[in-house]
Amino acid sequence: MTAARGTDGVLVDRYGRVARDLRVSLTDKCNLRCTYCMPAEGLPWLAGSQLLSDDEIVRLVRVAVRRLGITEVRFTGGEPLIRPGVVGIVAAVAGLEPRPRISLTTNGLGLDRLAPALRAAGLDRVNVSLDTLDAGRFARLTRRDRLADVLAGLAGAAAAGLTPVKINSVLMRGVNDDEAPALLRFALAHGYELRFIEQMPLDAQHGWDRAAMVTADEILVTLRTGFDLTPDPAVRGAAPAETWLVDGGPARVGVIGSVTRPFCGDCDRTRLTADGQVRACLFASEESDLRGALRAGADDDELARRWRAAMWGKRAGHGIDDPTFLQPARPMSAIGG
């Protein structure tokens, strides 16, 4: 649907794309140290005074849902489950009218313990990051020996009814790309929905190497050595993942080809960082400050107006293939998936 730039209603950009899916980063901190995301010592975390309070987050989500046409809310991080108020924030958002669909992207640590409370609070489903089934490799990739806790988190989410439980896997050449078939077999055996994601240039170290990235085409070739993949008849819409039925279905597998098969033309996402900045795109180099306006007493109309203005200027796409491409200063860990 296209919409004209207006002073009310939905978040539309100059290409006519309408944002319906709000990604909210609850913290920039994380309890893992994935090598493709941040250094072993972590990062200079956002100061507490910069972080939105639980009430401020709920207010901004309320503005987005009630005034800006947002129908999907995804909580991300860093690692959202380490935020003490996560269950309360989910409950408050689930109480909004109209009620948005609520999901959460997590590394799975602590999910087994929190899943029942999150479900009771109104969380609908989860995406869990898992790049390997080998405990030693997990410890090398994340610098923490916690594979068993992630697997317990997946099982806990399924048991609590946070379904479909989706798994996000990033494959890296010569690191874990040999595990694609095993990861799919694991997901099929447990009823999880697996999506492979091309590694994106969003790491804090700015060490992304396109040659080391495993492309969507390569992932499909590898999977087809062990599985019969047929196009999924389900309508994709603005969903990042292209999906295939596995061995005739109904199980499916997804591939998110952010770099080699960009889906920016149908993008329906807007992002709010843990320190109250609107990012029109994952790869945006500009941000719009809502925290300052909010703390200066802006009313909901003003917050909504600023959010619309921020989205109107959204670029056509990530521009990774553009010679002028510059990796955003803010790392993925402070943006969220």
Binding site members for [4Fe-4S] cluster: 30, 34, 37, 264, 267, 281
Residue nearer to ligand SF4 on the CB measure, 79 or 198: 198
Instruction: Tell the smallest beta-carbon distance from residue 147 to ligand SF4 (Å).
Output: 29
Which residues is 279 bridged to in the sheet?
A: 271
255 in Cβ contact with 242 (< 8 Å): yes
In terms of Cβ atoms closer than 10 Å to its own Cβ (0-12, 13-18, 19+), residue 155 is: middle
Write the CA distances from 31 to 6, 27, 138, integer angstroms.
42, 11, 14
Instruction: Tell the smallest beta-carbon distance from residue 320 to ligand SF4 (Å).
Output: 8
Is 264 an interacting residue with respect to ligand SF4 (CB under 6 A)? Answer: yes
Q: Which of 67, 269, 306, 308 binds ligand SF4 (CB under 6 A)?
A: 269
330 in Cβ contact with 273 (< 8 Å): yes
Q: What's the token pair of residue 247?
A: 């061995």
274 in Cβ contact with 27 (< 8 Å): yes
- Work out the widest C-alpha separation in the chain, in whole angstroms: 59
In terms of Cβ atoms closer than 10 Å to its own Cβ (0-12, 13-18, 19+), residue 335 is: buried
Return the range that interacts with ligand SF4 (CB under 6 A); candidates 115-123, 126-134, 156-164, 264-272.
Answer: 264-272
Task: Determine the size of the site formed for ligand SF4 (CB under 6 A).
Answer: 10
Residues 278-337 binding ligand SF4 (CB under 6 A) are 281-283, 317-318
Instruction: Tell the smallest beta-carbon distance from residue 182 to ligand SF4 (Å).
Output: 28
Instruction: Tell the smallest beta-carbon distance from residue 281 to ligand SF4 (Å).
Output: 3
Residue whose C-alpha is closest to residue 128's, from 160, 94, 92: 160
Binding mask 157-186 for ligand SF4 (x = CB under 6 A): ------------------------------
Residue nearer to ligand SF4 on the CB measure, 7 or 324: 324
Instruction: Tell the smallest beta-carbon distance from residue 253 to ligand SF4 (Å).
Output: 20
Instruction: Tell the smallest beta-carbon distance from residue 218 to ligand SF4 (Å).
Output: 21
Residue whose C-alpha is closest to residue 184's, from 173, 170, 171, 195: 195
- List the end-to-end C-alpha distance of the chain, in Å, as a whole number: 24
Which letter does DSSP use for residue 250 in this model?
S
241 in Cβ contact with 261 (< 8 Å): no
Is 15 an interacting residue with respect to ligand SF4 (CB under 6 A)? Answer: no
Binding mask 220-259 for ligand SF4 (x = CB under 6 A): ----------------------------------------
131 in Cβ contact with 103 (< 8 Å): no
Q: Calculate the dihedral angle through the C-alpha atoms of 44, 48, 52, 53, rounding to the nearest 10 degrees.
A: 150
Return the range that interacts with ligand SF4 (CB under 6 A); candidates 3-11, 159-167, 169-177, 260-268.
Answer: 260-268
Q: Which of 173, 263, 293, 312 binds ligand SF4 (CB under 6 A)?
A: 263
Instruction: Tell the smallest beta-carbon distance from residue 278 to ligand SF4 (Å).
Output: 12
Return residues touching ligand SF4 (CB under 6 A): 262-264, 267, 269, 281-283, 317-318
